[in-house]
Structure 1
Amino acid sequence: MPVKTDPSVSDALPAETVDAVVIGGGAAGLNGALMLARSRRSVVVIDSGTPRNAPAEGVHGLLGLDGTPPAELYDRGREEVRRYGGLVVFDEMTSAVPAAPSVDGDLRFGIALAGGRTLTARRVLVATGLRDLLPDVPGLAEHWGHGVVHCPYCHGWEVRDEPIGILAVGPASIHHALLFRQLTEDLVYFTLGTDLDADTRARLAARDVRVVDTPVDEVVTAADGKISGVRLADGQVVARNVLAVATTMLARTEGLDGLELPMEDLPTGMGRRFASGMAGVTDVPGVWVAGNATDLTAHVGASAAAGALAGAHINAHLAVADTDAALAAAEGAILT
């Protein structure tokens, strides 16, 4: 019976070249690693330990695991990857660059970690996730992931029927308001200087959404540490228990400049992502991306599915490379 390892303990980094390195230990990265490990590929996950959903109490909308705390979900994932021989290394990646090909012409990548260690891999899966930029409103950031939410599908049920305020950041916030209106009858839209035309104001009014154009000075915190309202520039406090923000979402790119992966900007300032095609393939041979690093609006389940697809795709490419190398070796032996 295999010995159960502590999922929070880092594995030793292998000295030999591995089939794949996965940069990021969230849902996309772990599921990609799982598919590779189950295909008997040597795979190492580099996990910085800073998942986007760390402040959340539970993961929602994930069939069979709804409500699971994020830390517990990732512990399970690491245990499953290790069950099939995959490794998980807790460290920050400082650089990833193409390296000299092997003697048979197959690709190689050099990975450097903050702790000074290095790793060589044949293929790379980037699953670094994203970071959220919040509006510059005093008192807002401290409530992120609790009283301040961004996704009606991830957190909406938990804040249903509460007095909710939308802090507008641009056109995306209008649709955001319609989604949160499904969850509460008490919704206030704070424009924060963004433009609303007459038609949009009429549509919000038809859904009983109050629009406030007065500038917002700060988020007010009650004695219990929770949000109690929003203070306006005129001194008025609009009581709210929850604030919803359509954040600007930026793919995490730290340490990845050396791969020269193409980037794309989303419309209306929604964010910036790694460009990718089917199964997360990129324009850089040997590199795939999956999860929120390329699909900024993907939920945990969608990110996990994307990671699994990318992992299977990587294994398929490796199988072709292995066969090419075996054929070249066999032909070389005949010639000699």
Structure 2
Amino acid sequence: MTTDTDPHLPVDAIIVGGGVAGLSAAVALGRSRRSVVIIDAGDPRNAPAAHSHNYLTRDGASPLELVRLGRDEARHYGARIVDGVATSARRTASGFEVTLADGSVVRGRRILVTTGLTDVLPDIPGLAERWGRDVLHCPYCHGWEVRDRVVGIIGSAMVGHQAQMWRQLTEHVTVFAHTATELAAGDLERLDARGIAVVDEEIARIDVDNDAIVGVTLANGERIALDALVVGPNFTSRADILVSLGIGTTEMVMNENVLGTYVEADPVGATSVPGVWVAGNVSAPMDTVVAASAAGTKAGAAINGDLIEEEVRSAVERKKSAQP
């Protein structure tokens, strides 16, 4: 097993992105005795959150703690971790080169991109500062923690569906239409049937006291008390590296609404460009932490299999050429 990769030699796999997807892939590859370099910019999407959930045996663990533990595991199996920003990638005769912001270059036979996504939030004063704390978006990630509390939901393309999911956790749900498109009559009927209030007025700001949301102030000056606020952000994939390799993004559409962008791939993460894989939120915006980890493991295994096929073909060709 490779215990430390030579920084001057091509590795079997370059992984761009050091979250749970990338680290899980590195472990799968390392356990198959593959040399790996992980390039990590150090800005995980879920860094503001104190806890992550629905990760069996790790429920409640800090996202940053999961990354710390994952780094230790990846290094145990020989991965080299480079802290830096990957700015571009290109194909070479032997695989790929990834250039970092400091001008350094990493070379490898295959490349896996696990750079995640950026949450584009509503432009409301005070909201971004509370993101991942008491401004939430995923009921499976953080819903239990606000069960039976007073929850407000900022209008978005999917607010009718979103409100019903949070209503499963608390009876105290209010939808703020804010600047969203007018709710359909069917949505209003469904919200009313489950006692979900609707406020048409635009939100002017988020009210915070003692480092916690206490409510919102509307454009008309009215204040409404809340314990938590839910948003439906736009998901924009961090795909610059992939674009430099000729791989574009695709609009994520649900119920005829565009919710963001993602990178298309097959079930094990292979993209339309041979030798390039993706895993995690860059290709599956709705994936939770545990799903992103599983996707990384699948992609790592697929890359190992692809490398094996290449090595077998080379061995067969050498055998044939050596025969008299």
Q: TM-score, normalised by structure 1?
A: 0.92
Specify the alignment match of 1:253 in structure 2.
239
CA contact (8 A) 1:231 1:237 kept: yes
Q: Cα offset for 1:184?
A: 1.1
Runs of 5+ consecutive residues of structure 2 not aligned to the other structure: none
Q: Cα offset for 1:247?
A: 0.8
Cα distance per residue 1:141-170 (max 9 Å; x no partner): 111011100100000111112111000122
Q: Cα offset for 1:198?
A: 2.0
Matches within 5 A, 1:146-161: 146-161=133-148
Q: Distance in 1 between matches of 2:109 and 2:241?
A: 18
Match of 1:112 among 99, 119, 129: 99
Q: Cα offset for 1:13?
A: 6.5
Cα distance per residue 1:165-202 (max 9 Å; x no partner): 000122x1211111111111111100113211222111
Specify the alignment match of 2:252 in structure 1.
266
**Percent of aligned pairs sharing the same letter:** 44
Specify the alignment match of 2:230 in structure 1.
244
Specify the alignment match of 2:23 in structure 1.
30
Specify the alignment match of 2:201 in structure 1.
214
Task: Give 3-state SS (helix, strand or coil) of 1:307's partner.
Answer: helix
Specify the alignment match of 2:161 in structure 1.
175
Specify the alignment match of 1:59 in structure 2.
52
Task: Give 3-state SS (helix, strand or coil) of 2:241's partner.
Answer: coil
Cα distance per residue 1:47-73 (max 9 Å; x no partner): 111111111111100001101111111
Q: Distance in 1 between matches of 2:90 and 2:308?
A: 23
Q: Distance in 2 between matches of 1:111 and 1:144?
A: 32
CA contact (8 A) 2:5 2:78 kept: no
CA contact (8 A) 1:123 1:314 kept: yes
Q: Cα offset for 1:332?
A: 2.5
Specify the alignment match of 1:86 in structure 2.
79
Q: Cα offset for 1:331?
A: 2.3
Q: Distance in 2 between matches of 1:192 and 1:323?
A: 59
Q: Which runs of 4+ in 1 moved over 6 A?
A: none
1:291 aligns with 2:280: yes
CA contact (8 A) 1:135 1:169 kept: no
Specify the alignment match of 2:178 in structure 1.
192
Match of 1:70 among 63, 67, 74: 63
Match of 2:309 among 312, 316, 320: 320
1:201 aligns with 2:188: yes
Q: Distance in 2 between matches of 1:330 and 1:173?
A: 62
Runs of 5+ consecutive residues of structure 1 not aligned to the other structure: 4-10, 103-107
Match of 2:218 among 229, 232, 254: 232
Q: Cα offset for 1:256?
A: 3.3
Q: Cα offset for 1:43?
A: 0.7
Match of 1:133 among 120, 123, 130: 120
1:16 aligns with 2:9: yes
Task: Give 3-state SS (helix, strand or coil) of 1:280's partner.
Answer: coil
1:276 aligns with 2:265: yes
Q: Cα offset for 1:333?
A: 2.6
Cα distance per residue 1:267-325 (max 9 Å; x no partner): 11211001111201110000011110100000011000011001100000000101111
Letter in 2 for 1:329: R
The number of equivalent residue pairs is: 318
